[in-house]
Amino acid sequence: MDQSSMESTARAMVAPGKGILAADESTGTIEKRFKTAGIANTEENRRAYRELLFTTPGVEEFISGVILYDETIRQSTRDGRSMPEVLSSRGIIPGIKVDKGAKDMALFAGEKITEGLDGLRERLAEYRKLGARFTKWRAVITIGAGLPTATCLRANAEALARFAALSQEAALVPIVEPEVLMDGDHSLARCEEVTEATLGEVFRALARHRIVLEGMVLKPNMVVAGEQSPVKSDAKGVAEATVRCLRRCVPSAVPGIVFLSGGQTEIQATENLNAMNRGHHTPWQLSFSYGRALQASALGAWRGIATNLAAAQKAFYHRAQMNSLARYGQYRPELEKQAA
């Protein structure tokens, strides 16, 4: 294991002012996104869309890395270069989603366990040859009546730790992603309670598996009220609850935390990240690893039409720039007018 290389990669992934683009949607997930924009879910459209994002002029100022999907890491741009090669040439670090999705947890109704550990060591070796320098594994935690159970938390934490160990063995930086879902009518306080229990379990498992904390990145949810909650979370409340929870659970040796956007809108995800960086000092870089919250406007502008390429890239550039400003606590709502 090349520890110094992993540590320098992890630090580069959370470099000041930069964040990670999650472009690792499965074929099924991207079909849903394409459907909203009236785009046929063909391999060529998926390839063209990812190329649009990865070749956006100047976006390397704000994007440190990209999480790829298995199909995408094997694809090439129109000029014949592999996707990882295109990213690396711009100083953007290629990564890869390696889990095989959250499946129903046997005998635990309403809960999920992420699969994909079988054969992972061999897949990691292949992905490294294809150009990946970091990996990602997502665990899904549901809040509900009697949920989550301690068994679900332990099982998912153990899987995350085994994934992280195999990644570091292959000299790949693991992004450890335990996501407490926004689904439900739970309060912000309940989300904080469950997120704290989840992160506590995860870091105990990482310690058992001898994970080098300096060579990993954490990708958690923000602490927010459920989507169906009658009481909505404002940015100040989200920032205070999230940072408090992280301080209780995350060792300072972890170089950075890249939040997922979950079900938040583009603006909400930027505002919440901005509030965390404006009013709080933490031992970690607080950054972003957004999918929809970086891509929604770009996808809507593109709609699968070649002549819309420039407009789509402008929308993506703008969203990346806004989140870069949020990394410094310097985002202001009036800056959104630039995208008009």
CB distance 192 to 245 below 8 Å: yes
Gap between the Cα atoms of 254 and 284, Å rounded: 7
Q: Tell me whether residue 44 is one of the annotated catalytic residues.
A: no
Gap between the Cα atoms of 179 and 200, Å rounded: 13
Q: Tell me whether residue 35 is one of the annotated catalytic residues.
A: no
User: Which conformational region is residue 238 in: left (phi greater than 0), alpha (psi within -120 to 50 degrees), or beta?
Assistant: alpha
CB distance 297 to 315 below 8 Å: yes
Gap between the Cα atoms of 215 and 227, Å rounded: 34
Gap between the Cα atoms of 203 and 34, Å rounded: 36
Are β-strands 285-290 and 19-22 bridged in parallel, bridged antiparallel, or unpaired?
parallel
Which of 25, 51, 177, 266 does the annotation list as catalytic?
177
Closest C-alpha among 30, 102, 98 to residue 68: 98
Nearest-5° angle of CA 329, CA 318, CA 8? 60
Number of H-type helices and E-type strands within the chain: 12, 10
Which of 201, 219, 266, 271 does the annotation list as catalytic?
219
In Å, what is the CA distance from 22 to each residue of 57, 68, 231, 288? 18, 7, 29, 9
Are β-strands 102-104 and 285-290 bridged in parallel, bridged antiparallel, or unpaired?
unpaired
Gap between the Cα atoms of 53 and 57, Å rounded: 9
In Å, what is the CA distance from 98 to each residue of 70, 132, 175, 338? 8, 11, 10, 36
Q: Which residues are catalytic?
A: 177, 219
